[in-house]
Structure 1
């Protein structure tokens, strides 16, 4: 095969010439930030597209997570998953909150609600769950637990742009949901993020927190941060929305090709969805078990020699990093399913401009690696 390098993802970008008029408008009105006209237009457009009532745009998803926790005044202990990108738990540490890790479900790799309930203590104030790979958590079970124990629920929905579950947008679950618009995501604004807010009051508080705590020209009512999305990023987002359905359709075709070609390969398990009605095909994870000819890491190395660069999302577990491994909840004996998934997972390349010929080649490499 050609040794053209294929990475696990590639940013989806609109035609450059179509972005120029947006830049010209920014140059004309001289508004670069502070919730300018493109920022306001993008908030409205995203509410309409995603089926949510209120959205607060942010400079990135991590600052949005940090702010979401602050806006809900979360303290003490928060139950979360070790199977995610580190920003999930880092947002807790930045707020002086103790993460409590619990194990995941074997089929979805999302946080296990039964393990959540068993980990609740008098210090528990919230649940921080992740819709891993864009597949919805068991939102009804999590909300029932939260209602029983009077806990807040925050969803790290960085992977879940446009995803719909049994009752509409998955982003409407919990007290707050947080999106990422990073370059690697299904919908990107170069860098960016957002918090989905259930009502105008919570949005107003979050808008204050992302603007240094300002409640007017001279009033500062909270220790906020500078988390505002720039006009450049908002303008790109408006243009990206025109192409998002096409991008997701291309991702779906890639997903279907992988599933068709890898279904009969012994030792390779394609992760299934978790019952979502509308998917976004953000990632394509496979699990490499002991019946496959090579170990997961050996397959990873083999593909790289052929110019294919998959990623081991998520390995190692968050609980194995130095700032977390001393926590009692990081004990490997408490997290057997998460550890097993981390040792087997390999995310294959998927992005709109990835040709199906390359997908077929990747599948042949996996199927015929002997």
Structure 2
């Protein structure tokens, strides 16, 4: 792990974790020796195998990032119609739908999970609907049973944007095993990173190999191209970074859980604040979202500004809603009155800094300001 910052340094909402440099060097030496830099080399194959074993899944296709992986997932199923999705997410979720040649349709979310509301999803289904793309926001599981029921009854594909859900388990089972496909992100801001990267968890080997082909231009062999694929490959260098970090993930997740526990203890009983990060085994503490309500001395934006005065950079994830952005706000499904829960959450949410090596003294400073924001 990297050293903690000085107390007077800026505190950002997250901070990438890195393996010890000495543990990275043997992987680099292997790459330099082989001169295999990409195209599914030995480092990638090893990364896929070790990552799948760690996660408790059988098949996954590692790719260059989660956004491209979402596109690949949709194209794998030939989705070109409507995809019902959440307005409360990072904009990449809806962008990927458009890049795949489909059209996003927004449905409201549940207040508790902040994931898609199955009833709201069902109300949006039309003859053009082909898929549901749900988001495990902050690693908090969606209503997977409810969404699976809707998808099954209407013959829809169910794809999860699980960018936040690395390592999350429900009743001992990996959350990313839900749905037809689940997409993970290994971006630097995520719980686990390979600098850049992503993966699609597949239900069987045939699907995994098809996703691999789609992410490699549709190439089967040097003479055969079977589909209009794209370049979603990850380099051997990125695979090496993932391999070097993976042995540290159990400790990293435990450290994140400890940071979250300190927040819950320090903010318990603060009028007008609700801590939304679940305190249960199997969660990854990807983020620490709080809801700033009417009984708090400041509104959400006021607390955001107050923390920035002390160089504490919390984030309003996810505000504004995707449905309010200029490329989507003219969609019929973006009408504000039809997304009341998502709008309410977006207007009151604030994500506090959280990462494994957040200095306890820095965290105590954050908690102290939130406890007494007004002199």
Residue 138 (structure 1) shift = 0.9
1:137 and 1:295 map into 2 onto residues whose CA distance is 27
1:13-92 superposed matches below 5 A = 13-92=18-97
1:204 and 1:144 map into 2 onto residues whose CA distance is 27
1:213 and 1:86 map into 2 onto residues whose CA distance is 27
Match of 1:336 in 2: 340
Choose which of 173, 182, 192 in structure 1 pairs with 2:187: 182
1:1-370 superposed matches below 5 A = 3-166=8-171, 168-273=173-278, 277-370=281-374
Residue 307 (structure 1) shift = 1.2
Residue 4 (structure 1) shift = 1.7
Kindly provide the CA deviation profile for residues 57-114 of structure 1, in whole angstroms up to 9, marking residues without a partner as x.
0011111011000001112111100000001000111022111101111112111111
Q: Is contact 2:277–2:288 with CA below 8 Å preserved after alignment?
A: no
Residue 3 (structure 1) shift = 3.5
Residue 355 (structure 1) shift = 1.0
Secondary structure of the residue that 2:61 maps to in structure 1? strand
Residue 165 (structure 1) shift = 1.3
Residue 53 (structure 1) shift = 1.1
1:2 and 1:269 map into 2 onto residues whose CA distance is 27
What TM-score, normalized to structure 1? Answer: 0.98
C-alpha RMSD of matched pairs (Å): 1.2
Secondary structure of the residue that 1:79 maps to in structure 2? strand
Q: Is contact 1:166–1:277 with CA below 8 Å preserved after alignment?
A: no
2:307 and 2:350 map into 1 onto residues whose CA distance is 11
Distance 1:249 1:167, change over 3 A: closer
Kindly provide the CA deviation profile for residues 110-163 of structure 1, in whole angstroms up to 9, marking residues without a partner as x.
111111111111111110000000011111111111110000000000000011
Distance 1:236 1:147, change over 3 A: same
Secondary structure of the residue that 1:243 maps to in structure 2? helix
Q: Is contact 1:132–1:159 with CA below 8 Å preserved after alignment?
A: yes
Q: Is contact 1:163–1:276 with CA below 8 Å preserved after alignment?
A: no
Q: Is contact 2:7–2:361 with CA below 8 Å preserved after alignment?
A: no
Q: Is contact 2:172–2:282 with CA below 8 Å preserved after alignment?
A: no
Unpaired runs of at least 5, structure 1:
none
Q: Is contact 2:7–2:362 with CA below 8 Å preserved after alignment?
A: no
2:327 and 2:333 map into 1 onto residues whose CA distance is 13
1:49 and 1:166 map into 2 onto residues whose CA distance is 17
Match of 2:3 in 1: none
Unpaired runs of at least 5, structure 2:
1-5
Q: Is contact 2:151–2:157 with CA below 8 Å preserved after alignment?
A: yes
